[in-house]
Amino acid sequence: MSTIDLIIILLYLVGILVLGIMSTGKTKMTSDNYFLAGRSLNWVIIGAALFASNISTIHLVGLAASGFEDGLVWGNFEWMASVVLIFLGLIFAPFYFKSQISTLPEFLERRYSSPSRSFLAFMAILGALFVHIGMSLYAGAIVFKSFFGIDVYVSIIIISVITATYTILGGLKAVVITETVQTVVLIIGAVILTIFAINALPDIGVHTLAEFKDRIKPDQLSMLRSGENAGNSGLSWYAIFLGYPILGLWYWCSDQTIVQRVLAAKSEDDAQKGPIFAGFLKILPVFIMVLPGVIGYVLFKDKITSSNETLPVLINELLPIGIKGIFAAALLSALMSTIAAALNSCSTLVAIDIAKRLKPSLSDKKQVQIGKYVAVAVMILAMAWSTQGGKFNSIFEAINKIAAALAPPIATVFLFGVFSKRGTKEASLLTLIFGFILGIGAFAADFIPTLYGKPSIITDTWGIPFMMQAWWLFCICSVVYFIISYLTPRPSTDQLQYTWDNPWQFITNNEFQGIKDVRLYAGALLLTLIILYTIFQ
């Protein structure tokens, strides 16, 4: 690292820390202000924060590695996210805003029952601790070790202290304000790397698209693949279109770490338009994170011995002094925003879904204090867990496999909760418990044999990739949900106020309001995706 790059990194770290602490100013830290930014966020900040809290260092490293290894097909995780964000904006956000809930488990309590709320809170805390924070910390530390020679444990400590400081002191407002800045830095850094990669192609005799295609693997520029050429990842077109929506319904529509930004919207219009804006932003990673990996295959396939080296090699080989510092800041942005989001959501879940319910008389001051203590405890646990990241073959795929285990029961109770007037509280709780046990069992059946050098049971022996596992687990959970629903008493009228009267009501409910109507932008986003899929099929 040059002195200039180190200065840029240092200035960025100090700047984000100061911005995070100063963003709340003299705001009185009530529970609403601390956990939900006083419900004051507009759609631009919501959309940028959704994007930033999602894009972690794992994405930057993993998507480049996936582009090198398999091509654009992993970009489906980005474009399909745009579709699910439309679901969040049009289907779920109206209920979330009108009910003025503080957490997603609270929504389950209103739609179903208190036990469902408790179990979802438990699952959400586990997801934030082991996936969002722990694995992100490890991925960031490994990247910094590769790029800058900083020891893994030192990196983990530095990043943890800085991120935890402004998150604990400033609450959600500090998180989303810094995330907005980090979104800009992240996109700029990724665009710069992509430009340098494209500009390097003529140096090796690649001047046209045809010459570029001659240098890549078959189907590396294809987003959709048949079952025969889906590769080791099993990302065939039907696995993507069946499996991803299940993962997406959990991650984008019912995970506290992500949706908390929508809960903090200042109006229903902002709550709806924020996810649509994030959906447009999610189009970008295919071109500025996955495509550089494909270009890396053309430029440096002889130098890259492992696909996970793709991003480090691109940076070290292509970026000049000073620009490396900017990209390092982008990496920090991705890492810190994800950790901050998950840390704040854990604080919210424990303070509101656990502490406040155990002691209803708990004051705002005490809730905020508990939230801060929880953030410290979770950060320490995540730091300890992050040191185990090296035991996974691929962090990016491991995270999605964990998601495939957690998502199906949660997707089931949320999806049918807003669309089925027959879904009961007993069905919700038993589906969550049964689906959680089944999902963890499926994950263990795949993961444990690999520790002993044996093929995984479900993926390798049975030939069912993780995306299809998510789909079939969802189907099983759905059957359980409706069997129990029809064997138990109907929901009350109060519970059904959080359910649409018919499947199309979210589209037909209000008169069209022209340029201000969120449905116009949702339609434009969907049309954009159809055009892109037509081009890159």
User: Which domains, and CATH codes, for the chain?
Assistant: 3-19+41-536 (1.20.1730.10)
Six token digits for residue 242: 């069946």
Distance between CA 457 and CA 442 in Å, rounded?
Answer: 9
**pLDDT tier at 243, thresholds 50, 70, 90:** very high
Distances (CA, A) of 253 to 103, 177, 292: 12, 22, 29
Least confident of 93-97, 232-236, 481-485, 511-515: 232-236
Q: What angle do CA 161, 167, 172 make, to 5 degrees?
A: 165
Q: Are 52 and 276 in contact (CB under 8 A)?
A: no
Distance between CA 12 and CA 21 in Å, rounded?
Answer: 14
Buried b (16+ CB within 10 A) or exposed e, 50-83: bbbbbbbbbbbbbbbbbbbbbbbbbbbbbbbbbb
Distance between start and end Cα atoms, the chain: 41
Residue predicted with more confidence, 462 or 155? 462
Most confident listed range (74-88, 222-236, 374-388): 74-88
What's the average model confidence in pLDDT over 21-34? 65
Confidence at residue 201, expressed as pLDDT on a 0 to 100 scale = 94
Confidence at residue 16, expressed as pLDDT on a 0 to 100 scale = 76
**pLDDT tier at 148, thresholds 50, 70, 90:** low
Phi then psi for 29, rounded to 5 degrees? Answer: -85, 75
Distance between CA 528 and CA 536 in Å, rounded?
Answer: 12
Q: What proportion of the chain, given as a percentage, has pLDDT over 90?
A: 38
Distance between CA 493 and CA 199 in Å, rounded?
Answer: 62
Most confident listed range (65-69, 269-273, 460-464): 269-273
| SS3 state of residue 92 | helix
pLDDT at residue 431 greater than cutoff 90:
yes
Q: Are 351 and 371 in contact (CB under 8 A)?
A: yes
pLDDT at residue 391 greater than cutoff 70:
no
What's the average model confidence in pLDDT over 236-263? 90
Residue predicted with more confidence, 35 or 450? 450
Residue predicted with more confidence, 14 or 192? 192
**pLDDT tier at 94, thresholds 50, 70, 90:** very high
Q: Are 507 and 526 in contact (CB under 8 A)?
A: no
Confidence at residue 236, expressed as pLDDT on a 0 to 100 scale = 84
Q: Compute the mean pLDDT over every residue in the chain, rounded to the nearest whole number.
A: 85
Confidence at residue 102, expressed as pLDDT on a 0 to 100 scale = 83
pLDDT at residue 35 greater than cutoff 70:
no
Distance between CA 284 and CA 270 in Å, rounded?
Answer: 22
**pLDDT tier at 342, thresholds 50, 70, 90:** confident
